[in-house]
Amino acid sequence: MTLAHEASPPNVAAGSSFYTAMRILPQQKRDAVMAVYAFCRAVDDIADDWRAPCAPRLQALQEWRTRIDGIYADGDAQDLEWLATPIRRYKLDRSYFHDVIDGMVMDTAKDMRAPSLRTLDLYCDRVASAVGRLTSPIFGLPLQRGLDLSHHLGRALQLTNILRDIDEDASMGRIYLPCEMLAESGLYGEIDPALIPKADLTLACEPLVQLARRHFMAAHAIMRARPRAETRAPFLMAKAYEQKLDSMMDRGFSPPRKPIKSSKIHMLITLLESHIR
């Protein structure tokens, strides 16, 4: 289990689409975004340690909350200077760190099982859009534009993750597909996660795909109206995840669902596009 006592940030997977997108940033901004991402990875690791007892995981998340508060209260970063530096430099809002932790608590206190659309939206806001709210000042976006982009792009990315990881999440006892949409597939009430890999989820997933696409469209509209330097990294993230969404629609949501992999060639093409858009 990852605790808050980290003298240096956890490593970021070099092959991930996030890593590829952030590499195009200037060094100072890249380091700052990577630090925020490392914080998110650390608390996510706690939430995802689903075999461990709930109480110590909740305690570990509270420890992160306390250490974040310490940075803002008296500047005492101790062994979290790697995170305190971007907090000070870009004046990152403490409440957004709390939002991320609150999202991890939602995963830790009780396994998510077919939430309502309203609860799912709150979850996406905390675990994804809040990350955008933390990073948009680093990208240089004006406050309201950053909030708007974070709202839409964060939800689009998280919904794509949920659709991609349906069967993996079910193996951990979690079902993020909303109850309203699962009902369209004939699944009601208390749903056994063991049923999910065997179920045809087309009617449950396609509306969620369309919701993600609407958020992607809104995010692209915001990014088109801003200077390229502010939006190149989030643009790359959006394009990479839209490619995953397209691949899922091509594959379909009936069993067996083969894992979706990122295309390195597609990422290269997108990287080139980002330099000429």
Alpha helices in the chain (DSSP H): 17-22, 27-48, 54-74, 81-90, 94-109, 117-124, 130-139, 143-164, 166-171, 179-184, 202-224, 228-251, 264-276
pLDDT for the residue 140:
96
**Amino acid 2: pLDDT:** 41
Torsion of CA 17, 123, 32, 44, to 10 degrees: -80
Query: Among candidates 188, 178, 186, 234, which has minimal Cα distance to 209?
Result: 178
The reply to whether CATH 1.10.600.10 applies to domain 111-277 is yes
CA-wise closest residue to 6 among 91, 64, 76:
64
Q: What are the 10-residue block averages of pLDDT along the chain, 277 residues in total?
A: 48 58 86 94 95 96 95 80 95 98 96 95 98 97 97 98 97 96 87 94 96 98 95 92 96 94 57 49
Q: 115: cis peptide before it, omega within 30°?
A: no
- 10 Å Cβ neighbour count for 179? 19
- φ/ψ of 53, rounded to 5, equals -60, 150
> In one letter, which amino acid is 219?
A
Q: What is the pLDDT of residue 184?
A: 86
Distance CA 132, CA 157 (A): 11
Rounded Cα–Cα distance for residues 174 and 110 (Å): 9
Instruction: Output the pLDDT for position 235.
Output: 94
- Check residue 4 and give its pLDDT: 43
Distance, CA of 67 to CA of 80 (rounded, Å): 8
Domain boundaries along the sequence of the chain: 23-110, 111-277
Q: For residue 18, report the phi and psi dihedrals to the nearest 5 degrees.
A: -60, -45
